[in-house]
């Protein structure tokens, strides 16, 4: 679609909504943004909007949906809300901010005859770490990139900042199931599905429906494209096999694995080896102990990023150097401090059961686990085995505390805390030298905090405030 003079409604005034509205306005569209929040609640976002963007806030008027030429929605907006359903019933196309960014960049690619292929990462856990590491590898190899997506900086904002300068070589994007629900043409050159474990079950009716959304990342891939899958994750390989079956043309599939030799990247005997085009078979990349980010899940993330970077044409040397240098992201198994022989770890991004299971498995020392928050319809009973083997005590907070306690049924000593500060103090009293206090909530944060970053930073502040001789 050419956007000039088109009436376009942007739904949701979060970061992606602001980026989409400003980009469309700059392309000459007649843009209206709408949000159920009021002008006062959105004052900070409104300040970042282009003056030409109209606003319809405090609700969703039907007429700006049904009269639009195009509707662009933020990832958090369910497709089933009334005004969207009415507009779709009248044939108004509805896309997400990811699809918009892809379409705009495709137009630029055709006009400039310059490649801007997408390298796109999805999965239930590990997306942000993998995407950030992949972008570092791309840049280490000397390529220019746009970096964004679900990771927190909207791709439309990044496109605006590139202006008319040199075209990037790659777009490195973290993409969520919510974003993939609304794609039409989105086609990454290299795509990866890291894992598929239950998450957002408050939005999806089943794990199968959630997995189907993830699988859309390779829906439009064709010959010459690559798909990277986790060979150790049955859900990932099963969904890909099902969706690729019978397709006349599809991506070439590569794998990463901690447990077996595969076509792609694998680890054996403490060594990470690669088997991809343009390299000799079974080339040693790095020793697993050399990788800067630690933990079993981070080994998987590191291998996934490496496979994608190598398939995109990055030299093995740049990939290996990035693996050694990258130290990880805030709120992902982030070391906070050691106090009286006890390590405190911030894993606030552990917002679902699958993420917490892998975080627990990353430690050999006894754990005191702080969990709880707003439930996303997770099955906390799946934590029973890991908790019984690794966790000496549970400290539970938030709306889901009672549900977690019931699900785990006494497999570890359990303390109920009113808030995070009380939880940390309880951990301090129970912890012995050699223990690890791990914040890995298995829940969303919105019952007590603005977001997972706010939760993690408050945890770090409380931990750093603990006195040596309290």
* H or E stretch covering 428: helix 420-430
Which residues have a Cβ under 8 Å from the Cβ of 109 and sit 6 or more positions away?
Answer: 115, 116, 167
Pure H helices in 90-140: 97-112, 127-140
Let me know if 150 is a catalytic residue.
Answer: yes
- CB-hemisphere CA count at 13 Å for 448? 25
Order across the sheet with 413-416: list the strands. Answer: 334-339, 342-346, 436-439, 367-371, 391-396, 413-416
Contact 334, 456 (CB under 8 A): yes
Which residues have a Cβ under 8 Å from the Cβ of 302 and sit 6 or more positions away?
Answer: 133, 272, 291, 293, 323
- Least Cα distance to 440 among 369, 342, 366 occurs for 369
Identify the active-site residue in 45, 127, 139, 358: 127
Report CA Rg, the chain: 23
Let me know if 112 is a catalytic residue.
Answer: no
Identify the active-site residue in 125, 150, 275, 301: 150
Helix (H, G, I), strand (E, B) or coil at 427: helix
Helix (H, G, I), strand (E, B) or coil at 438: strand
Pairing state between β 334-339 and 342-346: antiparallel
Let me know if 127 is a catalytic residue.
Answer: yes
Q: What is the DSSP string of 203-227?
A: T-SSHHHHHHHHHGGGTT--TT-EE
**233 C-beta neighbours (distance < 10 Å), count:** 21
Helix (H, G, I), strand (E, B) or coil at 293: coil
Identify the active-site residue in 200, 331, 390, 460: 200
The per-residue b/e assignment along 382-399, b for 16 or more CB within 10 angstroms, e otherwise, is bbeebbeebbbbbbbbbe
- How far is 408 from 396, CA to CA, in rounded Å? 11
> Can you read off the two tokens belonging to residue 128?
């942000």
- Least Cα distance to 260 among 322, 204, 303 occurs for 303
- How far is 229 from 214, CA to CA, in rounded Å? 12
Residues designated as active site: 127, 150, 200
């Amino acid at each position: 679609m050419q956007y000039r003079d088109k009436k376009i409604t942007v739904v949701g005034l979060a970061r992606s909504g602001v980026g989409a509205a400003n980009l469309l306005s700059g392309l000459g569209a007649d843009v209206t943004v709408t949000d159920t929040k009021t002008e006062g609640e959105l004052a900070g976002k409104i300040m970042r909007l282009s003056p030409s963007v109209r606003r319809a806030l405090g609700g969703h008027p039907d007429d700006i949906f049904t009269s639009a030429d195009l509707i662009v929605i933020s990832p958090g907006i369910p497709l089933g809300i009334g005004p969207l359903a009415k507009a779709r019933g009248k044939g108004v196309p509805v896309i997400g901010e990811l699809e918009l960014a892809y379409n705009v960049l495709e137009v630029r690619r055709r006009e400039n005859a310059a490649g801007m292929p997408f390298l796109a990462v999805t999965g239930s856990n590990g997306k942000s770490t993998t995407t950030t590491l992949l972008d570092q590898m791309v840049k280490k190899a000397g390529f220019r990139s746009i970096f964004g997506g679900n990771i927190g900086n909207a791709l439309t904002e990044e496109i605006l900042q590139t202006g008319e300068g040199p075209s990037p070589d790659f777009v490195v994007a973290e993409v969520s199931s919510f974003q993939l629900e609304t794609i039409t043409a989105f086609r990454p050159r290299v795509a990866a599905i890291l894992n598929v474990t239950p998450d957002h079950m408050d939005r999806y009716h089943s794990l199968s429906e959630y997995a189907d959304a993830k699988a859309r990342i390779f829906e439009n891939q064709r010959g010459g494209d690559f798909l990277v899958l986790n060979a150790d994750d049955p859900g990932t390989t099963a969904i890909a096999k099902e969706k690729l079956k019978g397709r006349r043309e599809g991506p070439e599939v590569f794998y990463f694995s901690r447990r077996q030799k595969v076509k792609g990247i694998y680890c054996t005997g403490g060594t990470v080896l690669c088997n991809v085009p343009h390299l000799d078979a079974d080339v040693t990349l790095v020793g697993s102990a050399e990788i800067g980010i630690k933990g079993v899940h981070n080994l998987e993330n590191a291998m996934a990023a490496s496979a994608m970077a190598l398939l995109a044409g990055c030299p093995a040397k740049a990939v290996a150097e990035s693996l050694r240098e990258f130290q990880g992201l805030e709120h992902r198994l982030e070391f906070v401090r050691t106090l009286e022989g006890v390590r405190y770890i911030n894993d606030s991004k552990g917002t679902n059961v699958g993420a917490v299971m892998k975080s627990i498995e990353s430690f050999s020392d006894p754990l005191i686990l702080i969990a709880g928050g707003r439930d996303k319809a997770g099955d906390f009973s799946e934590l029973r085995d890991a908790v019984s083997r690794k966790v000496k005590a549970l400290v539970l907070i938030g709306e889901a505390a009672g549900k977690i306690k019931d699900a785990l049924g006494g497999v570890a000593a359990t303390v109920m805390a009113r808030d995070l500060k009380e939880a940390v103090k309880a951990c301090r009293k129970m912890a012995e030298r050699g223990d690890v206090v791990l914040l890995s909530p298995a829940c969303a944060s919105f019952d007590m905090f603005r977001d997972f970053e706010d939760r993690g930073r408050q945890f770090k502040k409380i931990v750093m405030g603990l006195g040596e001789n309290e």
